[in-house]
Chains A and B, each alone.
Chain A
Amino acid sequence: QQQVKQSPQSLIVQKGGIPIINCAYENTAFDYFPWYQQFPGKGPALLIAIRPDVSEKKEGRFTISFNKSAKQFSLHIMDSQPGDSATYFCAASRNSNYQLIWGAGTKLIIKP
């Protein structure tokens, strides 16, 4: 119940395409769903996050879609660029627990 399942493991998209990364969870007590971006040789950094009271959140070219009934959320990158090539992690947490439950990560490559 504590798991967050992330797919796909890797993804290759042409520049300008819209990569989509999906995550699913079981624990309905989760109330915060962030996405982290990690470039090679760097630590992960918060990209965008959503709470379950909204179905979508946009920040620039990045959008989280959230489906509470299906217990799924996804990251969409509009007009993807080679500079978006990185590993993306989804995660989940609840306010009463100070740990993030992490997905396994998706290695995204945007081809020029």
Chain B
Amino acid sequence: NAGVTQTPKFRILKIGQSMTLQCAQDMNHNYMYWYRQDPGMGLKLIYYSVGAGITDKGEVPNGYNVSRSTTEDFPLRLELAAPSQTSVYFCASSSSAYTQYFGPGTRLTVL
């Protein structure tokens, strides 16, 4: 039982490049979330999903897109990367409105 896995762990992008952050969970959780955490700051919700095929915007969705074709996977797409997207990205999943289980994070730098 791997829990929530994220790839890659680190990535450096040039301004204007695109990439997909991968997230997978093997706990059969319906709910999945993407957060960003800037240095010394709290967690900001980017997008979330309540089940396969259903996604919705969080607090800071601009510049990102998501899809949820299966229960297990919830990739986050960055189009036209900007320096403001330099952050640590966490994926999380939950089976209820309560406990969220987090992945190890992806540290992204946009230069």
Interface residues of A (CB under 8 A from B): 32, 34, 41-46, 49, 89, 93-100, 102-105, 107
Q: Which residues of A contact B41 (CB under 8 A)?
A: 104-105
Query: Is B42 within 8 A of A93, CB to CB?
Result: no
Among B11-19, B43-51, B67-75, B78-86, the one that faces the other chain is B43-51
Closest residue to B91 on the A side, CB-wise?
A43
Contact of A32 (CB < 8 Å), options: B33, B58, B97, B103: B97
Closest residue to B48 on the A side, CB-wise?
A99
In the complex with contacts A49-B98, A97-B97, A98-B48, A43-B90 CB distance below 8 A: yes
**Separation of A43 and B105 alpha carbons in the complex (Å):** 6
Interface status of B100 (Cβ within 8 A of chain A) = yes
**Separation of A49 and B33 alpha carbons in the complex (Å):** 20
**Separation of A85 and B98 alpha carbons in the complex (Å):** 25
Q: Which residues of B contact A43 (CB under 8 A)?
A: 4, 90, 92, 102-105
CB distance from B87 to the nearest CB of A (A): 14
Query: Is B99 within 8 A of A99, CB to CB?
Result: no
Interface status of B34 (Cβ within 8 A of chain A) = no
Chain B interface residue number, banded:
20 to 34
Query: Is A94 within 8 A of B97, CB to CB?
Result: yes
Query: Is B99 within 8 A of A46, CB to CB?
Result: yes
CB distance from B85 to the nearest CB of A (A): 19
Q: Binding site of A, secondary structure by majority: helix, strand, loop or mixed? A: loop
CB-based closest 3 A-B pairs:
A43-B102, A104-B42, A105-B42
Sampled A-B contacts (26; CB under 8 Å): A32-B98, A41-B104, A42-B104, A42-B105, A43-B90, A43-B92, A43-B102, A43-B104, A45-B102, A46-B100, A46-B101, A89-B42, A89-B43, A94-B97, A95-B97, A98-B31, A98-B48, A98-B50, A99-B45, A99-B58, A100-B100, A102-B42, A102-B43, A104-B41, A104-B42, A105-B41
**Separation of A75 and B4 alpha carbons in the complex (Å):** 27
Closest residue to A10 on the B side, CB-wise?
B40
Q: A46-B99, A98-B48, A99-B58 are in contact. List 6 more A-B contacts (CB 8 A).
A: A32-B97, A41-B105, A43-B102, A44-B90, A102-B42, A107-B40
